[in-house]
Chains A and B, each alone.
Chain A
Amino acid sequence: MNKQGLLKLLALLFSMGLIAAACGGSDDGDTGATDTTEAEAEEAATDDTVAEAGTEAEGDNDTEIVPSEGERAYGGSIAVGLEAEAVGLRPWEDTCSSPCYNMMITIYDKLIEQTVDGEYEGWLLESIEPSEDFMSWVGVLRPGVTFHNGTELTAQTIADMFIVQQTGAASAGQISSANLADVQATGDLEVTYTLSQANSAFPAFLARAPIGMVFDPALATEDPDGYANAPVGTGPFVVESRDLDNETVVVRNENYWGTDPEGNQLPFLDQISFRPIPDEGTRLDALLSGTVNAFQTLRQGTIRDARAAVEEGADVTLLEFQGNNTGGGHFNVLVPPFDDKRVRNGLVHLNPQDQVIEALGGTGISLPATQWFSPDSPWYSEKVAEAWPKFDFNRGVELITEYVNDPARSDGKAVGEPISFEQSCPPDPTLIAATQVIIEVYEQTGGLIEAEVTNYDQQTHINYALGAENGFVGEHGAHCWRWSSEDDPSVNLNPALAPPTAEIAELAGIPGVVSPLNFANWFDGESFQAAVGATQTDDFAARYALYETIMLRIAEETPIWYSGHTATAIGTDANILGLNGWHLPSGSIGVGFPNAEGRWAEVWLG
């Protein structure tokens, strides 16, 4: 071999050596694996930063919501790693999920907030009272609140906001679900909300971004596009710069109206920089390496890794929360074979829930779901948990076989031919793994099921389910999805149960009542009436019974399937305090950090 050849061989071997050396580094990873398993076995209960609070549900590791101790300090800046960028920051227009919410809540105030007990109290509204029949609500605004541009907040502002919200992509549906018909300024600070139907849970809608966050309607009308990246609110921080997909910087609002219970002017921090870091591992590493000071996640696998890092001594506070939000998927019941209950029911029986949760990285973290409420929710029902179809291979095969051998089967195929459909999830590796676990069970049915597994990016995935181009029927089959939140059940259930298309609304005798947010396209008269009924009373027992009826109907008809409740977390440097146990203006402790959505006004550096 000549000299050049020898050099090439050496280079090849050297490169392989480098790779091998990198592999050698996995020893740490291997140790980490053992540690993680041990940590899971111990359920991290011994770690002070992962305090136990969820006594109602075994395995629920919610961090206890208590105000941070220590002397408050002004100044300092932090960087927060988010799982995605927010395309726009307009509450009425831009659909906002957890990462976007973290940004928006620094810029905008909401009219209503939720307390740690799940009650709704005033934030910008000092009070809100219903009429006896829940057909109208009168709220009184807090005086002396101004927007970042100096404009004063008045009742007329709220009335003008309603004009913009009626056509907003995010708010129009919420207005419909809330039964909101009109908003009038009936005084300088008094606002009257008139509803088309009774809604005892109306304040819950004012605690959500689309119609609850307060913006400058004059500016929004003048330059709606510009508002997306130069938003103006009344919140504790003001947008200083926004470099899309890189960094959004907010700085202290010197004229903020809010104070903490001790009377300290809020906010404490000078500046927060939000940075989208989509890759889960990279985002956690960014926190551990000090690139960012806080991060948020909705993935069990990341929580597992963050817990392991804390176990290994990382100086990080992990605020965990697992609530009503649950993963799984829905069937498009307007499309064969999902229009047949036997198929849906059979497929749910073939869902190995524990193995799916394991594939999602959620063993020991995520609780198996049976309904839209977690075991520590006041709305949770044992009866529903019992009724939900569990993994039962033989029963699943029996039901699918019955459909396959039915000469009148809805998909028009010949008797004995397998059912076929598309099973789709976004291309997240844990979701891909979970889908393959389900598919492997389908494979065991002896050719009864042909499922085509697909993965589309998040936006395409949502668009297929929304189906704006085909009358909201959607282009999906079996589709990964999430449901529910800590909000009042009506906020999520009413739009999910309303007629999905104009034709169905017509047939149901409620023309014009159409909800594009009924993604499963499942319309059940009994459930819809129960959902409507639950908004016409504020009696908890009566409402509980109605929601239990809905959940039992879902368990019977199975338009959806469940994996586990969504575990979420915000991790911060240990010296970041005040994210846990923030306060409402009344002094009540706030809801905490549900769905990894932090409230940053009371945060200070210890």
Chain B
Amino acid sequence: MTTTEPTVSLDQPTVVEAPKVQQSGVPREGIKPKRASVLEVWRSMPLTVKFSTVWLILVFGGAIYAKVDTTIFDGALPLQDPNAQTNGFSAATGEFGDGEPLEKPSADHWLGTDAIARDTFSRIVHGGWVSLIVASVAAGFGVIFGGFLGALVGFVRGRTEAVIMSAIDVILAFPALILLLAMVSIFRVRDLLIISLVIGFLSIPAYTRVARATSLAISQREFVLAARAIGTKPGTILRREVIPNVLPVVLSYAMVAAAFVIVVEGSLSFLGLSVQLPTSTWGNMINLARADIKVDVMQAVYPSLALVITVLSLNQVGDWFQKRASHRASAL
């Protein structure tokens, strides 16, 4: 990767825009930066990151498939109803089913059945949806608001920084899990989107700090100083120079933060305080299975594995992207 210093001629009028550097440090006008293809990115990944990426695609792809199955195809796609109790009453037949709770894995039930005879595999696949939504909404919220605030205060400094960072510190002082527990207990909130937004709101300080640190560093770089020197408006510098260079760092942090958010949601579910039952989540599956852990430990292990590997994968991929982003930043 080559580093190209932005060139500014003293003869140029002061309204000249600073050169774009977010693409491998190459100015917009001039040699077009070479974007790495998906295949090149894939090849450059270590094996663990490749494995993690595949896992995340499977889990979240499966969750989307499950959601499409229930909302569009009314359960017609080949995946069992996650809430159907195989020993439950059927209005159609007027009889109870002949399934058993805690069945061992079989061709019909790949991971067996839970304490009330529901297909565990299907519940794990559907459970991924809640994790996906919580992680996406919270990360999106954090990236947009936290990322912008951090980039802004790192660039403008002064009173704005003092006021915003004080507010951020106040939010940071909230014990997130306890606040969530209080919210769902007192206000009886069970809506997935609202829970996600609250988790996202509580994530803002972390994103802000990460973005601010990067923004502080970027704001002292030569190309930003040069842009200031030639009189580019601060808003333009922020939009064209700072934010584009802060964004990769914040996005890669978002993956690591998403892992944390999934664990928080899992904790809420485990405590019975997340989305409304019988919606499956990995946390409420673990909670339900612990009552029978001496009889069938696997029913607790399967959702735990899904949670652990997903969190591990997000960390792996997030770390890798963070490393990539820092290489790019140092190459600017």
Contact = CB atoms under 8 A, between A and B. Distances in A.
B53 to A, nearest CB: 13
Nearest to B87: A355
Given A1-B46, A12-B312, A361-B291, A440 B190 contact: no
B54 interface: no
Contact of A453 (B94, B104, B273, B277): B277
Interface stretch (B34-42, B158-166, B202-210, B292-300): B292-300
Interface in A1-49: 1-2, 4-6, 8-9, 12, 15-16, 19, 22-23, 25-26, 29-30, 32-33, 36
Interface in A444-502: 444-446, 452-457, 460
Interface stretch (A130-138, A219-227, A428-436): A428-436
A280 B273 contact: no
Contact of A429 (B51, B291, B305, B308): B291
Contact of A441 (B89, B188, B290, B295): B89
Contact of A444 (B90, B185, B277): B90
Contact of B116 (A8, A279, A433, A457): A433
A8 B104 CA distance: 33
Of A32, A33, A304, which is in contact with the most chain B CB atoms at under 10 Å from its CB? A33
Contact-residue size bin, chain B (C-beta under 8 Å from the other chain) = 35 or more
Contacts of A36: 295
Interface string A396-439: 00000000000000000000000000000001111011011101
Contacts of A6: 47
A31 to B, nearest CB: 10
Contacts of A430: 115, 291
Interface in B229-288: 271-273, 276-278, 284, 287-288
B56 interface: no
B88 A280 contact: no
A125 B163 CA distance: 71
B276 A26 contact: no
Contacts of B297: 23, 25-26, 29
Contact of A26 (B94, B116, B298): B298
Contacts of B91: 393, 444-446
Contacts of A23: 297-298, 301
B46 A352 contact: no
A428 B288 CA distance: 8
A22 B301 contact: yes
A301 interface: yes
A432 B272 contact: yes
Contact of B296 (A26, A455, A456): A26
B287 A436 contact: no
Contacts of B292: 301, 361
Given A432-B288, A440-B88, A441-B88, A305 B276 contact: no
Given A26-B297, A26-B301, A454-B190, A281 B290 contact: yes
B48 A12 contact: yes
Nearest to A25: B297
Given A29-B296, A440-B85, 17 more contacts: A5-B46, A6-B47, A16-B309, A19-B304, A23-B297, A25-B297, A26-B301, A33-B295, A359-B101, A393-B91, A429-B291, A437-B85, A440-B116, A441-B89, A446-B91, A453-B277, A453-B278
The 5 lowest CB-CB distance pairs between A and B, nearest first, are A427-B272, A455-B272, A5-B46, A429-B291, A444-B91
24 contacts: A1-B47, A8-B46, A9-B47, A15-B312, A19-B308, A26-B296, A26-B297, A29-B295, A29-B296, A32-B294, A33-B296, A280-B291, A305-B294, A355-B96, A427-B271, A427-B273, A429-B289, A429-B290, A430-B291, A436-B116, A437-B116, A446-B91, A453-B277, A457-B185
